[in-house]
Amino acid sequence: MQFRALFLSMAAASLLAAVPAAHAKTFKWASQGEISTWDIHSQNNALQNGLHSYVYETLVTYNSRTFAVEPLLATAWREVSPTQVRFTLRQGVKFQDGSAFTADDAVYSLQRAMSKTSNYTPYVQGITKVVKVDANTMDVFLAAPNPVLLRQMTELRMMSKAWAEKNKSVEPKDMKGKDENFAHRNAMGTGPYTLESWQPDVKMVFKRNPNWWGQMDGNVTEIVYTPIKSAATRIAALLSGEVDMVLDPSPQDLQRLRSTDDIRVVDGLENRTIFLGMDQFRDELVGSNVKGKNPLKDLRVRKALYQAIDANALTRNILRGLGKPTGTLVAPQVAGWTEAVGNRLPYDVEGAKKLLAEAGYAEGFEVDFACPNNRYINDEAICQAVTAMWARIGVKAKLRTLPLVSYFPMIQRSEASIYMLGWGVPTFDALYSLQSLTRSVGQGGDGNYNVGRYKNERMDYLVDRVKVETDAPVRTRMLTEALQLSGETVSHIPLYDQVIPWAMKKKVELVHRADNRVDMRLVKIN
């Protein structure tokens, strides 16, 4: 890991450069999803992380145009040794209650992310301890050199230690349980906006933080986010001017939107792959007509389910081009991806039937199948189509769909036999996906979303090696090998990389990001 002291300058911090804003504006936007909590370490998903970033900041961040790592609450960092990195914190930063942001808060926040109930452990993997040096300096100690530490830091938001202690929110809310802490419904950070109100499934309102330390390119002083599940209702709201932007317009509406005079559609390939996971742990599947064994443990069955899916038909007919079929767990922008690992197994219904027969399921079987209905583009329709495709080979998938706020805790409790999941890669490095999805469940983020409990000794070895490998070519080869192994063993059934169009009024200026987040510091309303 190569570190050098890096200090914030006008040239390096274009995101934060002062540009006079002629008029203060309200920005109203919508998507189909709602977040599940305001606790910044409880539930890791892209929509939630994006909204949290309006209120809570990280030590470093991505430049929205280049995705280079830039200073934020840390102004500099340097390698004291290969396993000790020193961060210099920005002075003069205050939390929204007027208290100063110090090393005590930074140390506490990273330790909180390392907690047992945290869902952010992949971002702190390899960190052994965090130590305060002085009020404006902290050291991060590593078990071994970590080549992606700074990219991991882009998702570790800072919370006030005093506020958390005062409000009995020292530990993150456990999203698998029902107990709430104060941080679940309340927020208090250092960011450019304050959370004014949150009515779950209704709307969320943010106001400019008058005491924010930074300066904006944009002119938005108020944000109103509205979760609207119905695609037709979202588009109607955009066309009528009720909202200024829709993050996830439906594929069937895109042609109409592109031909509407005051609407602009911006497209881009997201760094997110949609796939299906399978319970490969239980000796008997819940709700299946197969008793005494688990068909999903058999590689032939998993291959049959994979080859029975016509991914081209899914992306063509249901997504209308807003997806690119893939044979692996990461998108092309991610380190470790190659064209070879991205090739799918061939669509082959007769071959799938033959594999099932060889495995002893010539007549097929029944299986539970769970999907979200408001997280990914046309997610419910995709799962309905997959269900119909599996029926052709005799597999009777009993489809159930849930909103994301209840869906994700459910699959994390390993309560689904087959489940849909979309996985973005904030670090742009395949380790993030492999460690979370294919590494055996363990400590420090290992297998935190391996809810089907796939297990392979070679995979565990490769993931653990990649965590500490600093030779870039060697590391890339190992990432690729791990992705190949995932494909050969059908750890999951990859479907497609998601393409994301954003639809907005032409008066809106913003930067489209591959991680599907709206950087509010850059938004202008003309």
The pLDDT of residue 144 is above 60: yes
Residue 526 has pLDDT above 60, yes or no: yes
User: Tell me, what's the pLDDT at 271?
Assistant: 87
pLDDT at 7 over 70: no
* Contact criterion met (CB below 8 Å) for 525 and 518: no
Over residues 298-320, the pLDDT tens digits come to 999 999 999 999 999 999 999 99
CA 293 to chain centre: 33
26 forms beta bridges with: 222
The encoded tokens of residue 384 equal: 């309905």
Sign of CA dihedral 471, 423, 233, 194: negative
Q: Is the pLDDT of residue 10 over 60?
A: no
Instruction: List, by residue range, all CATH 3.10.105.10 domains of the chain.
Output: 272-498
For residue 229, what pLDDT is reported? 92
Nearest to residue 235, comparing CAs of 221, 224, 225, 250?
250
> How far from the centroid of its chain's Cα atoms is residue 119's Cα?
11
CA distance 74 to 85: 12
Nearest to 463 by CA among 429, 413, 428: 429
19 pLDDT above the threshold of 50: no
Predicted confidence band of residue 8 (pLDDT cuts 50, 70, 90): very low
86, 103 Cβ separation under 8 angstroms: no
Q: How far apart are CA 38 and CA 195, in angstroms?
A: 10
Angstrom distance (rounded) from CA 518 to CA 53: 10
Give me 95's structure tokens.
């939390």
Here the tokens at position 242 are 């009720």
Q: Coil, strand or helix: which one is 397?
A: strand
Determine the Cα–Cα distance for residues 7 and 166; give it in Å rounded to an integer: 34
- What percent of the chain has a predicted confidence (pLDDT) above 70? 95
pLDDT at 12: 36
Give residue for tokens 């767990």: 329
Q: For residue 522, give the nearest of 192, 228, 156, 237 by alpha carbon.
A: 192
Contact 98, 20 (CB under 8 A): no
Buried b / exposed e along 333-362 (16+ C-beta atoms within 10 A): ebbbbeeebbebbebbeebbbbbbbebebe
Query: pLDDT per residue over 105-130, tens digit each?
Result: 999 999 999 998 898 988 998 899 99
pLDDT at 5: 39
- The position carrying tokens 């509407």 is 260
Angle between helices 472-488 and 457-468 (to 10 degrees): 160
3-state secondary structure of 178: coil
Strand-pairing partners, residue 70, are: 61
Percent over 90 (pLDDT), the chain: 82
CA gap 282, 452 in Å, rounded: 9
Q: Greater confidence, 287 or 383?
A: 383
Helix axes 299-307, 349-358, angle to 10 degrees: 160
Kindly tell me if the per-residue pLDDT of 156 is higher than 70: yes
CATH of domain 21-226+507-525: 3.40.190.10
Q: Which residues contact 216 (CB under 8 A, 6 or more apart)?
A: 16, 18, 19, 21, 192, 521, 522
Give Dmax over CA atoms of the chain in angstroms: 70
Asked if residue 83 lies in contact with residue 147, where contact means CB atoms within 8 angstroms, the answer is no
Q: pLDDT at position 23, please? A: 60
Q: Which amino acid belongs to residue 124?
A: V
SS3 336: coil
CATH 3.40.190.10 positions along the chain are: 21-226+507-525
| CA pair distance 159, 105, nearest whole angstrom | 6
The CATH homologous superfamily for domain 272-498 is Dipeptide-binding Protein; Domain 3 (3.10.105.10)
- pLDDT exceeds cutoff 60 at 17: no
Neighbouring-strand partners of residue 420: 276
Q: What pLDDT, on the 0 to 100 scale, is given for residue 45?
A: 85
pTM: 0.79
